[in-house]
A and B are shown apart, each in its own frame.
Chain A
Amino acid sequence: MYVYIYDNFLRNKKFESAIKAIEVRLTDYGIAGKILRLNNYTDAKPVIDDEIKRGAKTIVIVGNDETFGHVLSRAATCECVFGFLPIGPNNTIANVLGISVGVEACDVLSRRRKEKLDVGWMNNRYFISQLHVLPAKVEVIYDERFKAYANDKMEVVVCNLQPFYWKKDSKSREQYVVHPQDRKLEAFLRPLTKKGWFGYKYEEPSIFPFEEMEISSREPFTVEADGKISKEIKVKIKLAHGKIEMIVGRNRKF
């Protein structure tokens, strides 16, 4: 039995035709099901647990990267198969999973090609897409073996499924994309240096693949993980292997 979780932004009229087309395709495939609408303050875990008790086997997230992270970061421990139907802008994870944006995503869903995805774990909660530490004077300890630090502030981005984009230099027009799909989390460290009168400037990022990492600082720093923002002094990040069973496409990046 399929249960579809729609994000709140899909109420907008401009997505009406896309949603109608998707619902018709799902009915054609015989995989239409119950529709639930997500609000900003809804916790997805108890909702999904209830549906699983009622017999749901597949929970399908309908929305964008933010919806994906919001639902899975809370429902990573639920015993079910997850699917994803990306609609609208801000959909980078869909490409990584080999799922097209729009109606074609239903074809991927109907084939039910399943893969177990790794999930990041941070201070008693999970993150599926990306973890972002805003620029602060932090120190990073990798696998309890070595530490990395910059002379001044540093921004840290830990990627699981959501790729990280940055420009190689100010003159280059192309953006260099890294897809971290190698059974390890990848941390991107971008130090900031003061350049004369113009304030801080980002330096070239460092890349460290790892399984366990600790970020610490003397002062609290801001951490954003899948849309949830908090202030921490110490953050422990680990990789949880094969936590989520997901329906993916043939053209996935891993």
Chain B
Amino acid sequence: MMFQKPNSKQLADVEILAPIQSVVASEDNVETIVGPSVNVEGDFASEGNIIVKGSVAGSVHTSRHLAVEFGAKIMANVRAGSAQVAGEVRGNMKVKESLELLSTARVTGDIEAKTLVIEAGALLFGKVMMPGLEESKPKSTRGGFGKKSEEIAAVV
């Protein structure tokens, strides 16, 4: 059984699988590149990875990876699956998975990410929100006593 020759049906299955894999690989590699001398304005969205080397104004959206290279400028709100920033971003960033700010990154705006990596030298001005750790508020037991205890606390 171990050394049986593969029959024609098995060979056909392998043949069918091979082209599907190549199509999937090409979809993963689809990239949008904004070159250094190109300016983009508007609702900039892509299904694949985005590499920004120039300037973008408006909004940026991708479900995959966004790379902002050194010298690039984004004056827009950003939504991405994951991101790596080495340039300037003026706008809020909402990243599903990991956000990496390299040493030359300059981010002005609120950021939200699952994982955050900030290299020494990166500059960030804004709020940082990460899931898993929320601000906890003190519980009050009864309305009347609760209010009095708050007043006493304020006086003290």
Contacts and interface: CB of A to CB of B under 8 A. Distances in A.
Interface of A: 145-151, 154, 181-182, 184, 189-191, 193, 203-209, 254
B117 to A, nearest CB: 27
Nearest to B42: A146
B48 to A, nearest CB: 7
Given A207-B32, A208-B32, A254-B26, A193 B45 contact: no
A191 B35 contact: yes
B44 A146 contact: yes
A209 B35 contact: no
Contact of A150 (B27, B30, B38, B53): B38
Contacts of B87: none
Interface residues of B, number: 25
A182 B41 contact: no
A29 to B, nearest CB: 23
A207 B26 contact: no
B43 interface: yes
23 contacts: A145-B43, A146-B41, A146-B44, A146-B58, A147-B40, A147-B41, A147-B42, A148-B38, A149-B39, A151-B37, A151-B39, A182-B26, A182-B27, A182-B30, A184-B30, A191-B38, A204-B35, A204-B37, A204-B53, A206-B33, A206-B34, A207-B32, A209-B46
A209 B49 CA distance: 11
Nearest to B23: A254
B31 interface: yes
B44 A207 contact: no
B146 interface: no
B121 interface: no
Given A148-B34, A209-B32, A254-B26, 8 more contacts: A145-B42, A146-B45, A146-B58, A147-B41, A148-B38, A191-B35, A204-B36, A209-B46
Main secondary structure of the interface of B (DSSP, over half): strand
A182 B48 CA distance: 11
B91 interface: no
A178 to B, nearest CB: 10
A166 B47 CA distance: 24
A238 B37 CA distance: 25
A252 to B, nearest CB: 9
B42 A206 contact: no
List of 9 A-B pairs having minimum Cβ-Cβ separation, nearest first: A146-B42, A206-B35, A191-B37, A207-B33, A203-B37, A145-B43, A206-B38, A146-B44, A204-B35
B30 A209 contact: yes
Interface string B6-34: 00000000000000000100110011111
Contacts of B58: 146
Contact of A203 (B35, B42, B43, B44): B35
Contacts of A209: 30, 32, 46-48
A204 B39 CA distance: 13
Contact of B31 (A189, A191, A207): A207
Given A182-B30, A206-B34, A148 B40 contact: yes
A149 B55 CA distance: 10
A203 B45 CA distance: 23
B65 to A, nearest CB: 15
B78 to A, nearest CB: 14
A253 to B, nearest CB: 9
Nearest to B54: A206
B32 A193 contact: no
A151 B36 CA distance: 11
Contacts of B23: 254
Contacts of B44: 145-146
A42 to B, nearest CB: 37
